[in-house]
Structure 1
Amino acid sequence: MAAVAAAGVLAGTLLTGCGDGGDGAGTHDGGKDREQHKVQGAAAVRGAYDRTAGAGTARMTLKVTTAAEGRSVTVRGKGAIDLAEGDSVMTVTAEGQRIEQRVVDRALYQKLPGEGGGQQSGDKPWVKIDLKRAAAQGGTGGQGVGDPAQTVAYARGITEKDVTETGEEEVGGVRTTRYRVKVDVADLPRGETLREQVGPTLPMDVWLDEQGRIRRQQIDMTVKASESGGSASPRQVKVRTLTEYSDFGAEVEAEPPAAGEVTDVTDKVLKGRSAA
């Protein structure tokens, strides 16, 4: 699944005053206040990436729900992440299978489920995907679920007119302010390719704590697959990604597995993606 961006249409409501008589001045002031509020909110969201990365490390949970053609699959992850470097250690659970996952120096390692880790007796227990190569050869495979640190970077490509503060909520017992945002897809890595799959904007909700750090981020997307085989309509995949950060400063021990226990499947993955 090469899905990093988004879809759906978020309805943005712009409240405008229609003065009747002597209320014109008050309406004007209210409009200025609202505009100032949006500017402040946009600045808070744009700066959230640097403030979150500045915390160094954090514990994180991840929930990705994918739905297509009447079937839904949920993937859950739990672990710790180096927010500045992108290294992470996680346990990922999907459809009854538990997978140990590490991201180290832009390489994704996953320990296959089953006895001994391998799918067959004698197999090496770990597989590796080089995310740098995947990103360099096109598409969005280098910034997906396999590299959780990339998710916070979405907050950087926004404009003032597309930020709405929706209220205060508690996330993990921490008071936060929730913002609804539209990210300009063109500002993201490989934006033009992404735009063809998900449209011009990425709808996103972020919850910021009192220090301006991201505590929760939700992205709802509808990804349009490439048309093939003469299909009358392209396949669409709906994806909801929910990420939460806590315990900033937590220890992260992300080390690559021993070389003798790893099979590099980068070429196979890229070949499969190209065929798809």
Structure 2
Amino acid sequence: MTARQRWHGRTAGTTAVAGLVAWVCVGATGCSWSGAAAEDARGAGDPVETLRHAADRLMDAGSSQARTSMEMATGGTRVTIRAEGVYDYRRQLGRLKVMLPQDPSGQSEHRPITELLAPGALFMKNRGAGVPDDKWVRVDTAGLSDGNLVTGGATDPYAAAEVLRGTRAATYLGRTEVAGTSVRHYRGTADLGDAARRASAGGRAALRAAATGFATPEVPFDVYLDDQGRIRKIRQRFSFVNGRQRDAVAVASTALLYGFGAPVEVRLPAAGDIYAGKIAEE
């Protein structure tokens, strides 16, 4: 980074998450159906109600593998953060390996960040920022202005699904394919405040924070459901106001879900493995 910024007197969690967004925003200056009758039957339901229950269908599925990408555009520059891992929807626990893009000089010097997702919490390892290599940083997601829909660099797949609980308008656009699977394509808009009111106990506080922290509570989306009603792909667009600048950052978050029923092993860090000291980030 060409500019060097130092924070003092913050907790490890707050500073580490702020650093991730700052780097991006500043440093980057089963049923089977066939035929027309079946298609009409699948598309004839109320799209709003269908999407409001999409998170429940993931809960029924139990778990899946996930690939995510987050595109951020600010100051005429666009960067993308990618992640891959697994998620247990019933326990709302996930593990993702997050890949940061190259820095502005073109050097690929950023180690992958391991993120553990849990109700109300985000754990990060290899975050840097002066944190020892064997320590985790814990962040309270309900205390983040975006509810960790953006800040962690990879949207929690179940949180993305729960945003759809706030669907206010949606249109069924017909059949297509995602990764070789026949899916139904919907496009619409969700309201984060409505989503928070309908969300699970584990996700309610984070979505409530996002509803007040984003530039607007409205979230445009495209989502693709298979014939079991499970999300196969979801793309959501947020307007996020980073604390370091006045202009809103345009964010497009995409999650691809596959391998349903995949085994998920997530062990949250013990208290002694969590770094809680004050740090300075360069």
Give the TM-score taking structure 1 as reference length: 0.69
Q: What does residue 169 of structure 1 align with?
A: 176
Measure the CA separation in 1 of the matches of 2:181 and 2:147. Answer: 33
Q: What does residue 7 of structure 2 align with?
A: none
Instruction: Note the C-alpha offset of 1:79.
Output: 0.5
Q: What does residue 240 of structure 1 align with?
A: 252
2:138 corresponds to 1:158: no
Query: Percent of aligned positions with the same letter in both sequences?
Result: 26
Q: 2:90 aligns with which of 84, 90, 97?
A: 84
Q: What does residue 230 of structure 2 align with?
A: 213
Give the TM-score taking structure 2 as reference length: 0.67
SS at match of 2:161: helix
SS at match of 2:69: strand
Q: 1:110 aligns with which of 115, 118, 124?
A: 124
What runs of 5+ residues in structure 2 fail to find an aligned partner?
1-16, 22-39, 102-107, 197-206
Q: Determine if contact 2:147/2:209 at 8 Å carries over to the other structure.
A: no
SS at match of 1:211: coil
Instruction: Note the C-alpha offset of 1:126.
Output: 2.9
Work out the number of aligned pairs and report it: 223
After TM superposition, the structure 1 = structure 2 runs for residues 1-276 of structure 1, keeping only pairs within 5 Å, are 40-95=46-101, 96=108, 97=110, 98-104=112-118, 106-112=120-126, 123-131=132-140, 134-135=141-142, 137=143, 139-144=145-150, 145=154, 147-159=156-168, 162-189=169-196, 194=211, 197-225=214-242, 234-264=246-276
Measure the CA separation in 2 of the matches of 1:123 and 1:130. Answer: 16
Instruction: Note the C-alpha offset of 1:128.
Output: 2.2
Deviations 1:222-260 (A, max 9, x none): 3345698xxxxx312011100011111100000124544
Q: Determine if contact 2:122/2:138 at 8 Å carries over to the other structure.
A: yes
Alpha-carbon RMSD across the aligned residues, in angstroms, is 3.3
Measure the CA separation in 1 of the matches of 2:273 and 2:244. Answer: 38
Q: Evaluate the alpha carbon distance shift between residue 37 and residue 55 of structure 1 in structure 2; reply closer, same or farther with a 3 A threshold.
A: closer
Q: Evaluate the alpha carbon distance shift between residue 196 and residue 146 of structure 1 in structure 2; reply closer, same or farther with a 3 A threshold.
A: closer
What runs of 5+ residues in structure 1 fail to find an aligned partner?
4-33, 229-233
Q: Determine if contact 1:163/1:179 at 8 Å carries over to the other structure.
A: yes
